[in-house]
Amino acid sequence: MKKIIFILLLLPLFSNAQTDKKEDENKESDGILNLVHADKTVAVPAEQKEGKKKQKDNTKYLGTVQFKIGNNQITCDSAIIFENDGLVEAYNVTISNPIYFTTVGEQLNYNKETKRGNVTKNVNITALNGNVIGSSENVEVDMSREAYRIGMGNITPPGRK
């Protein structure tokens, strides 16, 4: 059943009757994580590694934090960017897209190089009309397109456990 729901979610992407908006969401994104807003920014010294010269400081954002990747909006209450590793951890996360669905979870681990990440803990996926599509404990997200994709993860439809 879970696989059927996942396939149904992807069905509009393969339909021939797509609008220009659908074509736009399929375009490749630059995948660059851009900070839109943060209430507070703090430099956090990076852990020094043996045999490596001085590492760049990591950057921690606090309060209302907003990022953008392509057309995808990411909001959270705190995030840390591990500058030397290209990794991002964000907490109490909402990922949305104006022509797609919304994913909410407690944590996002994102790799800026691969443009992929995982949303974990109490993940809920909601359609544009507000209907809950399903929930999970771990969902993979792909930010390489203008409209992000979800992948690997067990998505449970509402009313099922």
Are the C-beta atoms of residues 67 and 93 closer than 8 Å to each other?
no
In this predicted model, which residue has the larger pLDDT, 31 or 122?
122
pLDDT band at 8, cuts 50/70/90?
A: very low
Residue 14 has pLDDT above 70, yes or no: no
- Quick: pLDDT tens for 80-105: 999 888 999 999 999 998 887 899 99
For the chain, count helices (H), then strands (E).
2, 8
Cα→Cα distances 79→57, 60, 119, Å: 14, 6, 13
Structure-model confidence comparison of residues 32 and 152, the more confident one: 32
Mean pLDDT (the chain) is 79
- The percent of residues in the chain predicted with pLDDT above 70, rounded, is 73
Tokens in use for 22? 């659908």
Right CATH for 2-14+29-45+57-150 from 3.40.50.300, 3.30.750.24, 2.60.450.10, 3.30.2270.10: 2.60.450.10
